[in-house]
Amino acid sequence: MSNENLKKIESIFKKHQDTIQKSTSLIPKISEVASLIKKALHSGGKVLIFGNGGSASDSQHIAAEIVGRFVKERKGLPAIALTTDTSIITAVANDYGYEHIFSRQIEALCLKNDVVIGISTSGNSKNVIKGLEKANALGAITVGLTGGDGGLIQKISTHAIVVDSNETARIQEAHILIGHTLCELIDEGE
């Protein structure tokens, strides 16, 4: 193994540890969001979740853990990743524009007692912003999961969880930890 590789790996791990350590300041917000999700699920609501690229993958991962189970055996709970139906996504993108791929689905699927989670490492993805704005207009609880300065998503979400990092990879690593934490807390509520 080259010494250069070892140093690079150590640097990556150190940045990851630093980001996670700084993210402990988000624990009260994560707890609050978990409580809101549990309340919504117990009152007939669902979780709608979306993002682009790695955040789309995180959306699908988190929705799968809610519908299936995370750790504890329990009944399935309603969660939908709005990133999975290529026919809907491409039809809306073609007819209305890519920036509307989430807002159109929110318009069709979102009810007032739902929790809508938009994930964007920058906090400025136009289609995520439009999806959250539509959910706000429908009276749903909105959660922005972002990084850096939180971007516009931090300002428009009823609840924002902003990871203190400007590196996309570190933000995404924290996002999946936050997603897993929410899922574990949801499991405990069942």
- pLDDT exceeds 60 at position 164: yes
Is residue 105 within 8 A of residue 88, CB to CB? The reply is: yes
Confidence of residue 40 (pLDDT cuts 50, 70, 90): very high
Looking at residue 189, its pLDDT comes to: 76
CA distance 135 to 108: 11
Confidence of residue 2 (pLDDT cuts 50, 70, 90): confident
Is residue 147 within 8 A of residue 72, CB to CB? The reply is: no
- pLDDT exceeds 60 at position 72: yes
pLDDT in tens, 122-160: 999 999 999 999 999 999 999 999 999 999 999 999 999
Query: What is the mean predicted confidence (pLDDT) over 103-119?
Result: 99
Query: What is the mean predicted confidence (pLDDT) over 31-40?
Result: 98
Looking at residue 1, its pLDDT comes to: 62
Tokens at residue 150, please? 């939180």
Task: Tell which residue, 145, 177, 174, has the closest CA to residue 162.
Answer: 145
CA distance 190 to 175: 23
User: CB under 8 Å to 59, separation ≥6 — which residues?
Assistant: 49, 50, 51, 81, 82, 83, 117, 119
pTM over 0.85: yes
Task: Tell which residue, 103, 112, 174, has the closest CA to residue 145.
Answer: 174
Query: What is the SS3 assignment for the chain?
Result: CCHHHHHHHHHHHHHHHHHHHHHHHHHHHHHHHHHHHHHHHHCCCCEEEEECCHHHHHHHHHHHHHHCCCCCCCCCCCEEECCCCHHHHHHHHHHHCHHHCCHHHHHHHCCCCCEEEEECCCCCCHHHHHHHHHHHHCCCEEEEEEECCCHHHHHHCCEEEEECCCCHHHHHHHHHHHHHHHHHHHHHCC
Task: Tell which residue, 145, 95, 106, has the closest CA to residue 123.
Answer: 145
Percent of the chain residues past pLDDT 90, beyond the cut: 96
Looking at residue 136, its pLDDT comes to: 99
Can you name the CATH fold of 3-188? Rossmann fold (3.40.50)
